[in-house]
Amino acid sequence: MLKPVARRSLQAAPATFAIVASKYNARYVDGMVRAARAELRRAGAGKILVHRVPGAYEVPIVAARLARQASASGGRGGPAAILCLGVILRGETTHAAHIGEAVSRALMDLQLRYEIPIIHEVLLLENEAQARVRCLDPRHNRGTEAAQTALAMVRVMSELA
């Protein structure tokens, strides 16, 4: 059962957050981007950078560049967290599953290599009905959830520093 997004009152340090979002399935991804930006602003994020890429498969390379910049600057020149947003809808072939697996593996590898929170909300969904609920419905919007996770992880990582 799909759980509603819990309302949390997380506060952001004046950190920079980056959003890497797919242009493919734009209606749904745009809904997640709007929700993520609103949640980060509400929490007091210092700066929110949005980078759009053609599709889900291109998300990891931009996330890699951002993570490398953050790592090279000791955390002072890049984002404190990277939110990766996209929607992959299953079709009649296994193509969507292959894209979803490749993106998931790449994002996890980047997160571990650069020790920066990379929030994975590149959704692999069965149909547009699922996309509408998860991307356009404020009660279940995964963009809001991604922002909350990013805020929480930035706090955890700063405690470990």
Residue 94, amino acid: T
| Alpha carbon distance 136, 118 (integer Å) | 22
**In this structure, how many other beta carbons lie within 10 angstroms of the beta carbon of residue 120?**
20
Q: How far apart are alpha carbons 77 and 97 in whole angstroms?
A: 35
Angstrom CA distances, 30 to 11, 16, 157, stand at 24, 20, 28
Identify the active-site residue in 51, 95, 120, 140: 95
Sign of the torsion formed by the C-alpha atoms of 20, 26, 31 and 34:
positive
Distance CA 132, CA 30 (A): 11
120 in catalytic set: no
Active site residues: 95
